[in-house]
Amino acid sequence: MSNNVTKRSPWSWVPSLYFAEGLPYVVVMAVSVIMYKNFNLTNTEIAFYTGWLYLPWVIKPLWSPFVDLFKTKRWWITTMQLLVGVGFAAIAFTLHLPYMIELSLAFFWIMAFSSATHDIAADGFYLLAVPDKDEQALFVGIRSTFYRISTIAGQGLLVLLAGYLIETTDNVAWAWSITLTVLAVLFIALFLYHKFVLPQPATDRATSSDNSPRAILGGFVKTFVTFFKKPYALSSILFMLLYRLPEALLVKMTSPFLLDPIENGGMGLTTMQVGVATGTVGVIGLTLGGILGGVCASHGGLKRWLWGMVTAISLPNIVYVIMALTHPQLWVVNALIFIEQFGYGFGFTAYMLFLIHYAEGESTTAHYALCTAFMAMGMMIPGMAAGWLQEQLGYLNFFIVICALCIVTAIVSCFIKLDKPDNTVQNENA
């Protein structure tokens, strides 16, 4: 293999690869909520159906070894991007059919599994294609930046496009169908681009060790046993599951609250206005909070900043109580969402640092994957119930309950152990 292929500059593919990694995740997790709200599903239905879409990220450690065992990571990346593109096109087509809810959810499921598999392959490929440690460190920030850009593109620009088309065509199905078709074309283009541009490192190959069912099963069992035998495993797992409990409930109802009319307790915003508030202003706040959290944690470590971060991820939730009580002007709504997301970005740093801390030692990579599975489970299960709870309580009481549940975040933070020094990291799936 020629060196110019093996050593292709990461600038030619790292930004586009992590843009491609982030976009389907944000569409499946966040944009789908807005789309189904536009189709007049109830909040209970929206939260339950879209909550199930977290499942592939919960269970991806179960099939991640197969990405190593079969084919190259480069092959997995390009194949999954093609599947995601086909999935977007399929959803766009189903929106005009009688059973559009069931069919679109089925294709969202396929996309979610494809996206989770793409995550596994992309992160592993990055380590192989950028072997120099200094260069790896440099491009971690580039990865995170373009992941955030994909979030703005998904929650911001795509929602703005859909909102504009809804207002101009007065046809929700056509508006979202065109928006998803744009996504399909984009992903087919990304597939073709990466098919030719991704480097082909010699180390990117199917594992040649023992691939027998007994060996694979033995590796799984050992990974799980050593994970649960770590010191303070119970308190650590409870922290992974419950630290984000208020946010897990809140995130599913943010867009429905902003879209619902004032007479129903919502804010009465248009889809375009929600795209700006949550997909642009909110994401900028989230990013800045995460950057500040990383800078602070690099000066003193997690032990020093833990309670400041717990406070930051908890107190700003009160902005939704304020909005539900006062129904302020649009610029105030944007400012309050910025504050809440900034606090969340700062407080989420503590969570990610603890996952790294707990995964250290034997089987670090596999244990970190299990940590992220618990992270996804902690978002999935409460999120599925969020819509039902909101419809029972109303928006104002629902947000008051979320503020009260912040005590759970504080309680689980009391019992974690931080005996070793921490390193900082920026996680894309915040």
Tell me the pTM: 0.81
Given 153, 181, 211, which residue is the final one in a domain?
Answer: 211
Q: List the CATH number of the domain containing 419.
A: 1.20.1250.20
Is 155 within the bounds of a domain?
Answer: yes
Nearest to 264 by CA among 280, 279, 253, 249: 253
pLDDT at residue 153, as a whole number: 85
Q: Region 274-278: what's the mean pLDDT?
A: 88
In terms of domains, do 280 and 332 share one? yes
- Count up the domains in the chain and report the number: 2
The pLDDT assigned to 157 comes to 87
Please report whether residue 202 resides in a domain: yes
- For the segment 224-233, what is each residue's pLDDT rounded down to a tens digit? 888 888 888 9
Q: Are residues 341 and 241 in the same domain?
A: yes
Share of the chain above pLDDT 70, in %: 89
258 in the same domain as 179:
no
23 and 104 within one domain: yes
Token couple for 34: 């807005």
Provide the domain limits for residue 47.
7-211
Question: 30 and 126: one domain?
Answer: yes
75 close to 194: Cβ distance less than 8 angstroms = no
pLDDT given at position 428 = 45
**pLDDT band at residue 359 under the 50/70/90 scheme:** confident
Q: From 211, 231, 253, give the residue that closes a domain.
A: 211
Q: Tell whether 297 is covered by a domain.
A: yes
* Position 20 in a domain: yes
Computed on alpha carbons and rounded to an integer, the radius of gyration of the chain in Å comes to 21
Do residues 180 and 276 both lie within one domain? no
Q: What is the mean pLDDT of residues 317-344?
A: 94
Mean pLDDT for 359-373 is 77
DSSP 415: S
Averaged pLDDT score across all residues of the chain: 85
Q: Is 216 a member of any domain?
A: no
Q: Looking at the structure, do residues 203 and 180 belong to the same domain, yes or no?
A: yes
Q: What is the DSSP letter of 80?
A: H
What pLDDT was estimated at residue 426?
Answer: 42
> Which tens digits make up the pLDDT trace of 130-154?
777 666 666 766 777 788 788 888 8
Shared domain check, 256 and 149: no
Closest CA to 370 of 380, 378, 359: 359
**Is 387 domain-assigned?**
yes
In a domain, 2, yes or no: no
* Tokens coding 267: 């804010």
* Predicted local distance difference test score (pLDDT) of residue 378: 92
Residues above pLDDT 90, as percent of the chain = 48
Q: Are residues 396 and 259 in the same domain?
A: yes
Q: What is the pLDDT of residues 368-427, one digit of tens each?
A: 778 888 988 999 899 999 999 999 999 999 999 999 999 999 999 999 887 654 444 444
DSSP 92-114: HHHTTSTTHHHHHHHHHHHHHHH
Query: Does residue 130 share a domain with residue 275?
Result: no
Among 158, 185, 211, give the residue marking a domain's end: 211
